[in-house]
Amino acid sequence: MAGSDRDLRTYLGDRYPRTAERIPDEVIKVAQPLFGVWRAIGYGRYLLAILVMIAIPILMKPEIVPFLEDFDSPIPYINGSFGVSVLVDTGIYILLALGLSIVVGMAGLLDLGYVAFFMIGAYTAALMTDSGGAEQFHFVVWPNLAALPFAVLVCVLAGVALGTPTLRLRGDYLAIVTLGFHEIVRQTANNLPQTNGSRGIPGIERPQLGPIEFTVLGSENYWFYLLIPAIILAVIMIRHLEDSRIGRYWTAIREDEVAAAAMGVPVVRMKVLAFAIGASTSGVAGWIYAGYLTFISPANFPLLASILILAAVVIGGLGSISGAVLGAVLVQGLPQVVREASGGETIFGFDPETGRIAVFGFLLIVVMIFRPGGLLAPKRRRVELSEASAAEGVIVDETAQPSKDEIEFASSVHEAAQHKEGS
Amino acid sequence: MAGTPLLELKDLHVRYGVIEAVRGIHLSVNEGEVVTLIGGNGAGKTTTLRSISMVHPPAQGQVLFKGEDITGMKSHHVVAKGIVQVPEGRHIFPNMSVAENLGMGAFQRTKTTKQEVSSDLDHVFELFPILQERRKQLGGTLSGGEQQMLAIGRALMAKPKLLMLDEPSMGLAPQVVERVFAVIAEVNKEGIPVLLIEQNAQMALGAAQRGYVIETGEIVLEDDAKTLLGNDQVRKAYLGEE
């Protein structure tokens, strides 16, 4: 139980100093015991999180469990099949946001066409599996599960294909190229006879493992349960990348490309790798999406989707895993809940479907003004973006005295200034 | 020193598109030497350096390191060979702490043990006590002179066999420039050869044993540093004397 008695305010203060100060004492008093329990269970909290994720769809659709048939869902608005479909949409966005956060958050490469990879993943899955009466579109007809590794592989290759020619580009220029990449992919799918053009591919087969049909729990639930391990794997992968040599290379490139190259960072290779790894999660997301909808067409992958995913990553906090998850929930999940809760009424004069875009624009501006690093910015990013904390200049430190440093710093500046005057 | 020089440029041509920025220069650096390449704006100094580090490979000619042809090699392999560059304008990682910046320097040394790296770190701190004091501070919060020290320290962490400095005096107060050059002398005393690129000819020639003067992509003069300091042409062009 060591550490479980740690003060909640101190704990929060380490992460979010200014926010922690503002929390009233009463709240801390109530939350302290809960925090104690949270710390005491240690790694059990991950198990708890998984259990909660498994429980949510069951709470939304109690009828799928035999002995709960007569119960109504205790969750308001988002319940039944609709509720679970919101979860699936959100889960797919979480996967996408995680992938994009590698490219944009970790390597610092602005990608405005990320949804192109998602689309490539979905089309790969669709073209490799049995889909209704549209066999003429298929290269091969494999069981859906067998298409998964290929969806990922094709996405990774697409990442390399986009990354390689655009290596020399930085910032805005790269963003424009990625925008173009998305348009190329979309127009290709729109015009190729092999992809059935704008009519899309209907009747995509759902996965089946031998005789076991995964639709046993109700199809939406199945997809959500499939998303849980995918998201967990993606999170584990990114966690490890963050602390790895590759993660450090990316940080170096993001901070100063020239310096990174001078230190022997293989800049070119690392940028391509960021694109490739970032694209891999969208391969999984695309595969799930194709099987889940059973119908895909280019209209499912508009530019707006790219922008929403980017918005999710930015609102949540660039380079932050929990931020990407939170951002995806806010961007994809929340609007659907709001729409349902509003009962189709207009919100502030907006129709709920289009209104959410206006709300996002506004939300994005507000977040950027008050939390430039995003809602859950990682520590390094907070330092990068906030002048106030950059002036403190200490990130890893808990014991050193910045005051002493500051005095020396000031005196050395003063010295230099005097010298200038004198000369 | 007889035998093959440590670094040798043979008829190096570097182009940016149709513009030839460096037109067939010959240059060599021997073991233990400080060699300076001086010249005005746009003379081709930085281009030469970028070409040696293969960040911008030469269009023609050869770069030999310890007699081995490294022309066209990938730039991170060049760093791994021990040719380490301190880029112009310092280019430290502003949001990494001083210690993390130094750690980045040792990043391509995959075959070294942690102990070796940490003893190298101690050594850099010995050379630059100010960095030890500020090791937890962010790179971007250091003063210009300290950032230059950090950039040099970071390069030293890569265990250079040849250290290339691109205008270390740029944007620094005269007093700080003197300190930086004292540091370069200290580094060289440890046996690390230095190729120094400078506009500040006075300081550079004072620190170097040999010097080259580059003008519009061609070497126009080459001599002992002391002789160059006394050369009328150099005094007129670079030391502001009539």
* Beta carbons of B137 and A393 less than 8 angstroms apart: yes
d(CA B186, CA A155): 52
d(CA A242, CA A319): 9
Asked whether residue B68 is domain-assigned, the answer is yes
Inter-chain CB proximity B92 and A396 less than 8 Å: no
Structural domain count of chain B: 1
What CA–CA distances, in Å, run from A85 to A221, A225, A345, A386, B154? Answer: 8, 12, 21, 38, 52
d(CA A242, CA A257): 18
What CATH number has the domain bearing residue B15?
A: 3.40.50.300
The amino acid at residue A140 is V
Which of A248, A256, A419 is closest, CB to CB, to B107?
A: A248
Asked whether residue B210 is domain-assigned, the answer is yes
d(CA B3, CA A314): 58
pLDDT for res A286: 93
d(CA B138, CA B115): 24
Which of B76, B87, B91 is closest, CB to CB, to A266?
A: B76
Q: What is the DSSP string of A107-139?
A: S----S-THHHHHHHHHHHHHHB-BTT-GGG-S
Asked whether residue B142 is domain-assigned, the answer is yes
Q: Which residue of B has its CA nearest to A405?
A: B134
Average the pLDDT over B205-211 and give the result: 91
Which of A252, A396, A409 is closest, CB to CB, to B136?
A: A396
Inter-chain CB proximity B158 and A263 less than 8 Å: yes
List the single best residue of A263, A403, A406, A418 to mutate versus B (max B Cβ within 10 A): A263
Inter-chain CB proximity B107 and A416 less than 8 Å: no
Inter-chain CB proximity B133 and A405 less than 8 Å: yes
The answer to whether A156 faces chain B, any CB pair under 8 Å, is no
What number of other Cβ atoms are within 10 A of residue A142's Cβ?
15
Q: Containing domain of residue B130, as a range?
A: 7-238
Interface of A with B in 245-264 (CB under 8 A): 245, 248-249, 251-252, 255-256, 258-264
d(CA A233, CA A225): 13
Asked whether residue B2 is domain-assigned, the answer is no
- From B2's Cα to the closest Cα of chain A, the distance in A is 30
Report domain extents, chain A: 8-42, 76-387, 393-422
Specify the 3-state DSSP secondary structure of A369: helix
d(CA A94, CA A234): 10
Instruction: Give the DSSP letter of residue B138.
Output: B
What b-and-e string marks burial along A56-86, b requiring 16 or more CB atoms within 10 Å of the CB?
bbbebbbebeeeeeeeebeeebbbbeebbbb
d(CA A287, CA A204): 11
pLDDT by residue for chain A (423 residues), tens only, comes to: 344 456 777 777 776 677 777 778 888 888 888 888 877 777 777 788 788 877 777 777 776 666 666 667 677 666 777 888 888 899 999 999 999 999 999 999 999 999 999 999 999 988 888 665 555 556 666 777 788 899 999 999 999 998 888 877 877 888 999 999 999 999 999 988 777 788 888 878 776 655 555 554 555 677 788 888 899 899 999 989 988 889 989 999 998 888 888 888 888 889 999 999 999 999 999 999 988 888 889 999 999 899 989 989 988 888 888 899 999 998 888 877 777 776 666 666 667 666 767 777 787 888 888 888 888 877 665 555 544 444 444 444 333 333 444 444 444 444 444 444 443
Q: What's the CATH number for A76-387?
A: 1.10.3470
Question: At a CB cut-off of 8 Å and minimum separation 6, what does A108 contact?
Answer: A250, A253, A254, A255
Inter-chain CB proximity A245 and B104 less than 8 Å: no
pLDDT for res B96: 87
Asked whether residue B1 is domain-assigned, the answer is no
Tokens 């310890």 map to which residue? B66
Asked whether residue B127 is domain-assigned, the answer is yes
d(CA A151, CA A290): 11
The answer, yes or no, to whether ipTM is higher than 0.85 is no
Inter-chain CB proximity B137 and A393 less than 8 Å: yes
Instruction: Give the DSSP letter of residue A195.
Output: G
